[in-house]
Amino acid sequence: MKSVRELIHARSERYMGWYLEACSIPSLAENADGLDEMAEWVESKLVSIGASVERLTHDGAPDVLLGQIGSGDRSVLIYNHYDVQPVDPLDLWNSKPFEPRVSDGVIYARGASDNKGDLVARLAGLQIYQEVFGELPLRIKFLVEGEEENGSRSLAEIVSRHRSKLEADGCIWEGAGTDHVGRPKLTFGVKGLAYVELVCRGLSHDQHSQHAVIVPSPVWHLVEALNTLRTRDGRVQIDGFYDDVVAPTDADLESLEAYPYDEEAERGRLGVDRFINDDSGISLLRRLFYEPTCNIAGIISGFTVPGASKTVLPKEVMAKLDMRLVPNQNPVDIVDKLRRHLDKRGFDDIEINRHQMQHPVRSPNDSPIARAAVAASEDVFGKSSAAGPTNIGTGPMHAIADTLGVPMVSPAGVCRPESNIHAPNERARVEDFLRIIEYTDAWIIAFANIDL
């Protein structure tokens, strides 16, 4: 791979230019022009590296781009997305989120890590491969959607409609990142997600709180409802929540023994002095990878200016719940269970607004694409990999993994624990970006040559 590495460094200015261009486009869900501009940018880059590009459209959704390039008897689907997370709270950013800044080898921008870094590195890798070796040895299907941060609501429908074009021998998903000591991370699935808003309404207006002694308070009612959902050590109490959970096998638990996880470093990074239930070791990793959860992502009601003492009986309250699910929980079923759980306990007046619904996925860790991605990462990074069963986060993998039946891997990527994805001052390292270009070529070669 020496020639590849040398060429990447010779071309680094070009590819950093691509990276900065991509990060300067505000491809936010609420900015249709920004999404259009970013789709055009990705399309033009796919065309410039020799791909034929098709737009897979769906009413009301940003176009999904499908770039096809390469030949051979094996096919691989690459998945990325061109949209990014919202930038709020803007005042916590040290520079503007769409004016990328490079300082001390780090690029700061919304999307730098999730996931424009890997997207651009993969585009660059395909170009470099061709410059060094000629035609790509795989039929590559590069799928880039624009609705991922908004729940990929149209992807399942689009994949079903175009399944014959999208079927592949393996799928390279969004990168799983690089761990805190530079080991390549790989996972073979995702947790699912059921994201809902709970809304409780009462009075017609906020009132002087002198009335609180006789008037039912929506915010107290919601606090009481929330309190029925979880024990203090994080066990979810929604009736039937764990019914379909697949317990890890003995082999699964054994493989956790080899998983490198620096608990003290993680606690330091997160700013906490203990994990839930004071967990550690295998018990902690089992919880991390194999347990579902129910999180309060936000709550708001009434008067919230710090330090001031306005006495209000609030007319309503809203809380956001995100439930991360594990195989074989079904997000639609889980929200139905939440509805029944609340109804049964006198909380039928609390509205549930359904937002994201994503199925969990677990793919084998020994499929050809999985083995190719692991082997290539150990070559390029020069370190053993940190392979976990699934990503602890969520992605719209279900449509491809289950609808199409394609084995999945989230390979190494630019994202590090300190990358602040979904948060202010998102960042990635330039050296990681260049390494993922090289890694792209390495897994292409490995997958072209591996025993199926």
Pick 37 or 322: Cβ nearer a second copy? 322
Least gap, CB of 207 to a second copy (angstroms) = 6
User: Between residues 53 and 212, which has the closer beta carbon with respect to a second copy?
Assistant: 212
Q: Does residue number 281 form part of the binding site for a second copy (CB under 8 A)? A: no
- Binding span for a second copy by CB under 8 A among 163-171, 241-249, 303-311, 400-408: 303-311
List binders of a second copy among 307-326 (CB under 8 A): 307-315, 317-318, 320, 322, 324
Strand order in the sheet with 316-325: 316-325, 192-201, 351-358
Does 296 bind a second copy (CB under 8 A)? Our answer is: yes
CB distance 153 to 358 below 8 Å: no
Q: What is the DSSP letter of 28?
A: B
Distance CA 99, CA 251 (A): 47
Beta bridge partners of 19: none
- Judged by CB under 8 A, does residue 258 bind a second copy? no
Q: Please count the CA atoms within 13 angstroms of the CA of 354 that sit on its side-chain side.
A: 14
Q: How far is CA 272 from CA 126, 268, 293, in A?
A: 42, 7, 18
Which residue's CB is nearer to a second copy, number 324 or number 337?
Answer: 324
Residue 448 lies near a second copy (rule: CB under 8 A): no
User: In this structure, is the dihedral angle defined by the CA atoms of residues 245, 338, 330 and 270, taken in order, positive or negative?
Assistant: negative
Measured CA to CA, the distance from residue 160 to residue 7 in angstroms comes to 39
- Cα–Cα distance measured from residue 220 to residue 197, given in angstroms and rounded to the nearest whole number: 16
State the minimum distance, in angstroms, from the CB of residue 194 to a second copy. Answer: 10
Amino acid at 452: L
> Of these, 17, 216, 281, 405, which contacts a second copy (CB under 8 A)?
216
Closest to 177 in 3D by CA, of 383, 413, 376, 426: 413
| 209 touches a second copy by CB under 8 A | yes
* Contact between 393 and a second copy per CB under 8 A: yes
C-alpha to C-alpha distance for 341 and 345, rounded to whole angstroms: 7
Listed in sequence order, the residues at least 6 apart from 376 whose beta carbon sits closer than 8 Å to its beta carbon are 411, 439, 442, 443, 445, 446
Q: Measured in whole angstroms, how far is the alpha carbon of residue 14 from the centre of its chain? A: 27
Among 49-57, 128-136, 214-222, 376-384, the segment contacting a second copy (CB under 8 A): 214-222
Neighbour-count burial of 404, counting CB atoms closer than 10 A to its CB (0-12 exposed, 13-18 middle, 19+ buried): middle
Given candidates 50, 182, 260, 302, which one binds a second copy under the rule CB under 8 A?
A: 302
**Span from 43-51, 120-128, 386-394, 397-405 in contact with a second copy (CB under 8 A):** 386-394
C-alpha span between 408 and 393 (Å, rounded): 15
The one segment of 75-83, 154-162, 221-229, 432-440 that binds a second copy by CB under 8 A = 221-229
Q: How far is the CB of 390 from a second copy (least distance, A)?
A: 11
Q: Which is nearer to a second copy, 138 or 334 (CB)?
A: 334
Among residues 409, 421, 446, 450, the one that binds a second copy under rule CB under 8 A: 421
Tokens of 251: 């082999």
**Binding of a second copy by 335 (CB under 8 A):** no
Written as one letter, the residue type at 355 is H
Any idea what DSSP says for residue 271? T
Residue of 10, 47, 247, 270 interacting with a second copy (CB under 8 A):
270
Other C-beta atoms within 10 Å of 299: how many?
A: 15
C-beta of 296: minimal distance to a second copy in Å?
Answer: 5
Binding-site member from 102, 275, 328, 383 for a second copy (CB under 8 A): 275
Work out which of 24, 68, 130, 207 binds a second copy, going by CB under 8 A.
207
Among 160, 227, 237, 449, binds a second copy (CB under 8 A): 227
Q: Does 274 bind a second copy (CB under 8 A)?
A: yes
CB 437 within 8 A of CB 12: no
When binding is defined by CB under 8 A, the residue of 132, 156, 203, 245 that contacts a second copy is: 203
Q: Which of residues 58-117 bind a second copy (CB under 8 A)?
A: 85-86, 88
Q: How far is the CB of 248 from a second copy (least distance, A)?
A: 14
Minimum distance from residue 79 beta carbon to a second copy (Å): 18
Q: Where in 116-175 is the site for a second copy (CB under 8 A)?
A: 150-151
Q: Which is nearer to a second copy, 68 or 280 (CB)?
A: 280
Task: Give the separation between CA 144 and CA 40, rounded to whole angstroms.
Answer: 12
Residue of 249, 250, 305, 451 that binds a second copy (CB under 8 A): 305
SS3 of residue 31 by DSSP:
coil
Q: Is 205 in the site for a second copy (CB under 8 A)?
A: yes
Q: Of 141, 150, 120, which is closest to residue 58 (Cα–Cα)? A: 150
Name the pairing type of β-strands 101-103 and 427-429: unpaired
Nearer to a second copy, 2 or 232 (CB): 232
16 vs 342, which CB is nearer to a second copy?
342
Residue 83: which of 23, 43, 140 has the closest Cα? Answer: 23
Closer by beta carbon to a second copy, 98 or else 439: 98
When asked if residue 26 is in the footprint of a second copy (CB under 8 A), the reply is no
